[in-house]
Amino acid sequence: MNRINDLKRRILNAAFLAKEGHVASAFSVLDILYVLYENINFDPERDKLPSRDFVFLSKGHASLALYAVLADKGLFSNHLLARYCQHDSFLGGHPHRLCVPGVEASTGSLGHGLPMAVGCAMSLANDKEQNRVYCIVGDGELNEGSCWESLMLAAHHKLCNLTLFIDYNGSNDRAIDLAPLRRKLLAFGWPTEEIDGHDHEALKTALCYRSIKPTAIICRTVKGKGVKEMEENPHAWHHRTPTREELDRFIQELP
């Protein structure tokens, strides 16, 4: 957890300097991204290697988490993270595949990443390639009809090379009720597991799940995980950055 908290401090600092970013969303999904990049087939020195596994962060507003992990993996210097959303920076509020090393798809408009991941998985399957495709969506993002169309298409074509991680942090609670989500995914033809999305061992185990169909992992997460004020008031912190006093306090709060 020390590594995760170090990345959270970098995220807080980047958001403070930029006066921009979705910090609470980044903290929600950070463990998922970290475990993914620690365990998948991915070479940071050759990030476009044809045999690589693909990661699509569909909830692109959580870009700070992705940037922190990619920098930690060595795709670009950590000091560039502090230039997040600055005029001369390639690290924008949403990830851009032509600008940021390691980014597979430009995302941020919700409901776009999963269709692209399904298309990638279908192409790889048609070519009989062994690469795997991982996609991370938010629970609020599942309000988008394009996600459910993609779920049906992937199940129909039995895209067993595709794993979907759902960052289930309660963002959707004030909109459309997703429950019972696991039963819905099963009905759409997706074998589904539900885990603690901050438990690294559970996440690593989930990466090993295999089926003749695509697999879904519902990750129970906490928006703003690790900072009590964000955890207790996640909606207020959806798109808010810390003041200097809050920055110092939150950094001290992280063990």
Res. 99: pLDDT tops 90: yes
Report the mean per-residue pLDDT for the chain: 96
At residue 175 the predicted structure's pLDDT band, cuts being 50, 70 and 90, is confident
- pLDDT score, position 150: 98
What's the CA gap between 180 and 44, in Å, rounded? 38
Determine the average pLDDT of the residues in 202-218: 96
Determine the average pLDDT of the residues in 124-134: 97
Q: Which residue range forms the structural domain that includes residue 151? A: 2-253
Give 44: exposed, middle or buried? Use CB within 10 Å, 0-12, 13-18, 19+.
Answer: middle
Task: Please enumerate in sequence order all residues whose Cβ is within 8 A of that of 213, keeping only pairs 6 or more positions apart, or say none.
Answer: 155, 158, 159, 160, 189, 190, 191
At residue 173 the predicted structure's pLDDT band, cuts being 50, 70 and 90, is confident
Res. 14: pLDDT tops 90: yes
- pLDDT score, position 255: 82
Residue 113: which region, alpha, beta or left (left: phi > 0; alpha: psi -120 to 50)?
A: alpha
Which CATH number fits the domain that encloses residue 43?
3.40.50.970
Cβ-contact 102, 75 below 8 angstroms: yes
Instruction: Find the largest Cα–Cα distance for the chain.
Output: 54
Determine the average pLDDT of the residues in 225-229: 97
Instruction: Give percent above pLDDT 90 in the chain.
Output: 95
First and final C-alpha spacing in the chain: 9
> How many domains are contained in the chain?
1
- pLDDT score, position 42: 95
- pLDDT score, position 177: 87
Res. 1: pLDDT tops 90: no
At residue 20 the predicted structure's pLDDT band, cuts being 50, 70 and 90, is very high
3-state helix, strand, coil in the chain (%, to 5): 45, 10, 40
Whole-model pTM: value is 0.97
Determine the average pLDDT of the residues in 222-231: 97
- pLDDT score, position 160: 98
Determine the average pLDDT of the residues in 126-135: 97
